[in-house]
Chain A
Amino acid sequence: MKKILSVLLLSLIAWACTEDETQINDNDSFDRAAMLTNWADNIIIPGYVNYNSKVNVLAEAKSTFTSNPTVENLTTLRVAWLDAYISWQKVSMFDIGKAETLGLRGYTNIYPTNDEEIEQLASSGTYDLELPSTRDAQGFPALDYLLNGTATTDAEIVARFTTEESLSIYLSDITDRLKNHAALVLDDWQNGYRDTFVSNDGSSATSSVNKLINDYMFYYEKHLRAGKIGIPAGVFSNTTLSTNVEAFYKQDASKTLFDAALQASVDFFNGKHFDGNGQGESLKSYLDFLNTITGGEQLSALINNQFDQAKQAASTLDENFYQQVESNNEAMLLTYDELQKNVVLMKVDMFQALNVKVDFVDADGD
């Protein structure tokens, strides 16, 4: 019996060795540490550096405005706000490390913002912005309301900030909070977390690769696809919810913000450096590597092609998503559909190819 078994095993190994030599991939496995390094050094940290500088400009513009509320200073402040808001779109998806423990996204960009709560908190003068219940009264959407929605004309807005000191203080507090949060996260990445992140290159559910892919997918599905397009277009409700667009008070910024977020998702997928020069190991190159083992279709090309489709559909949209939903919601729904197709390609096909774990539980693959 022993003999039979060893003969069987030997012939099996012999057979396996001779099987289709051409397909054998003798190169070393894909270098995840290189991918993590590329993500950290060329995408995430530069993204946070940029975000920090924009938020600092924003904070300065805020100080100038509160000490001297004029229409001109308001205009400058608005530009700084939009600039910072755009730079936020490029780091929002990285809900890992300090950003995760702080709950950064929740305190930075929850919309629709709660204008009544803002007015009430500001006039009361007592508030704890650490409370999760105040998340919809701070961050960029709250600034959107303060800078664009507190009155009908610019002169009236300036007048309010001139006469109501509490409103100025509130503006100041939530802007500084953004600034402090941004500094905390960047500081963490630059002093220690970067190495933790890169060295956690294993394959468990809590490894950096697994976690960030899950974060990326969650962001794409929930915040980009649903938050920016699907929810206002009424995909998840009986009626359209045009007032739920991002930057509702500014109105004509919603497409700019969406475009920035979509481009950031595309760039992350392709491992494109933040400064636009060069490209490194990424989900795309990872998928291409695995393709050499599994054969089959070029999944990365399908995903990139679908990103293009989504961009193309979005290119027809008005700068102002509120207007777009009100006038021709069909175009919004079409954009949603194109974004949705990539959810399937990424969450089903890519997750399977990368063997991404959703959670740590016992499983035997059935």
Chain B
Amino acid sequence: MNPLRAHYFQTTTKAAPLAAFRIFFGLMMFISVVRFWSYGWIDKLYIQPEFFFSYYGFEWVKPLGEWTYLLFVICGLSALAVAVGFKYRIAIITFFLSFTYIELMDKTTYLNHYYFISILSFLLILLPANAYFSWDARKNSNLAHQYIPKWSIDAIKLLLVIVYFYAGLAKLNSDWLIEGMPLRIWLPSKYDLPMLGDLLQKEWVIYSFSWGGALYDLLIPFLLLYKPTRVFAFVLVVIFHVLTRVLFPIGMFPYIMIVSATIFFDARLHEAILNKIAQWFKISLSYFDNGKKLISGAVHKPILVVVIAFFVVQLLLPFRHLTYPGELFWTEQGYRFSWRVMLMEKAGYANFKIVDGKSREQFYVDNTDFLSSFQEKQMATQPDFILEYAHFLRDHFEQQGHENVEVYVESYVALNGRRSQPYIDPNVNLVQQKESLNNKNWILPFNDEIKGL
């Protein structure tokens, strides 16, 4: 290592911010699991449907029937253990695995913020978040450190910077900035909000939201990093996310982002917060102020390598769409895992035709026989869903004794307020197409152009 690099990686800082982050994160995740359960979504999303959409390469991850509840119990309890810092390494690994398993069960429910939780919990596995104010450190003084490597806190900041900045970059397109889409569809439909409702119908409000949103995403990480603007930036964070909470059905995400943004503050704030918590529970915080420094040494080298590799992937993955031809919003090839949030209003309709390849006899499928309304909606606008469902239909009708099964789809998609247009080539037998990372040349071209990133 060259001296400068070595110097940075051996710098230490107060451990309190990471400890506070660990507590917030664990509690937020626990609440998320309870909320998800209380809405009956486990049953509705993971038990009732008879078919689930898999991620490429993770076809083996399926809901576990009634045992799915146990999975959520494990996920929730491990989140609590993370908050307390109880057997932290095991707890956070368990949380990462159980949460990620849940997300992989059905890609219908894909949300950027679920992905964010997954990769953040992966990152947390590698960080010494239990060094301070944790059950582990209280029980084993060898683990307790008042100071930890600075890079471990910077890593979380970097991840947040990436999420915001990339989300901002993704908004720099003609639909968002020039057409004011899809906010032009979404905002007026919130007519019933007190005070805001009538404003949301107005042109200038729609543009203020779209331009303001893009600017916010692009600038906020730097305003948070820069000390003189930090408090102002945090106020913006709170306003912005509360507003998104009011306007859009995005669940716990706004709260998680607000709480995460506290990581940018100085340790003094976190020490004060931890002190309060310590008082409530009648624990002595001073026990952890032992002056010990956890310095990155040779043992940490493998961890650093993984962390750096992790960020290289995070920086590059959102640009993978550049390797595909066609309009990204239309084909969605390389759309997920790229912080493209709230960019599209897409509606679709897919009508599947089963044909006997020999006799040419044919009939259409009633999608409600197999899919929930939510699944059908997601399926109809995303080619990988359509293909996977077509293969499921082939298997289903072959099992029913049909022969030479060919599957065709007549589908229409409307994107960001445009008229609907044909989506998938109706003459392509989807049975013969294989899911892969290659370009799906059976997606019909988009009859318009969206300029920008």
Contact = CB atoms under 8 A, between A and B. Distances in A.
Interface of A: 1-2, 5, 8-9, 12-13, 15-17, 19-20, 23-26, 28-30, 32, 201-203, 207, 222, 226, 230, 234-239, 290, 293-294, 296-297, 340, 343-345, 347-349, 351-355, 357-366
Given A1-B228, A361-B374, A365-B345, A344 B417 contact: no
- Residue with the highest number of chain B CB atoms closer than 10 Å, among A16, A19, A230, A351: A16
Interface in B342-367: 342-349, 351, 356, 361, 363-366
Contacts of A25: 201-203
Given A238-B356, A340-B351, 4 more contacts: A294-B184, A344-B412, A351-B347, A355-B345
A353 B417 contact: yes
Contacts of A238: 356, 361, 363
Given A226-B366, A234-B363, A364-B111, A353 B190 contact: no
- Residue with the highest number of chain A CB atoms closer than 10 Å, among B341, B361, B419: B419
Contact of A23 (B188, B203, B251, B414): B203
B204 A5 contact: no
B366 A355 contact: no
A12 B215 contact: yes
Interface stretch (B71-79, B128-136, B205-213, B307-315): B205-213
A352 B420 CA distance: 10
B57 interface: no
A55 to B, nearest CB: 29
Contacts of B112: 364, 366
B219 A5 contact: yes
A201 B193 CA distance: 11
A13 B335 CA distance: 31
B188 A348 contact: no
B41 interface: yes
A178 B345 CA distance: 43
B232 A362 contact: no
Contacts of B198: 28-29
A297 B419 contact: yes
B413 interface: yes
7 contacts: A23-B203, A201-B192, A203-B190, A238-B356, A293-B203, A365-B341, A366-B341
Contacts of A201: 192
A29 B197 contact: yes
Which are the 7 A-B pairs with shortest beta-carbon distances? A362-B251, A355-B189, A352-B347, A16-B207, A202-B192, A348-B420, A16-B204
Nearest to B342: A365
Nearest to A297: B419
Contacts of B208: 12-13, 16
B373 A359 contact: yes
Contact of A358 (B39, B253, B374, B412): B374
Contacts of B420: 344-345, 348-349
Interface in B242-263: 248-251, 253
Contacts of A353: 185, 417
Contacts of B111: 362-364, 366
A1 B250 contact: no
Interface string B305-349: 000000000000000000000000000000110001111111111
Contacts of A207: 192
Contacts of A349: 347, 414, 419-420
Interface string B109-122: 11111000000000
B31 interface: no
B241 interface: no
Contacts of A355: 185-186, 188-189, 345
A113 B342 CA distance: 48
A12 B211 contact: yes
B405 to A, nearest CB: 12
Nearest to A21: B203
B192 A203 contact: yes
A11 to B, nearest CB: 10
Contacts of B418: 296
A17 B364 contact: no
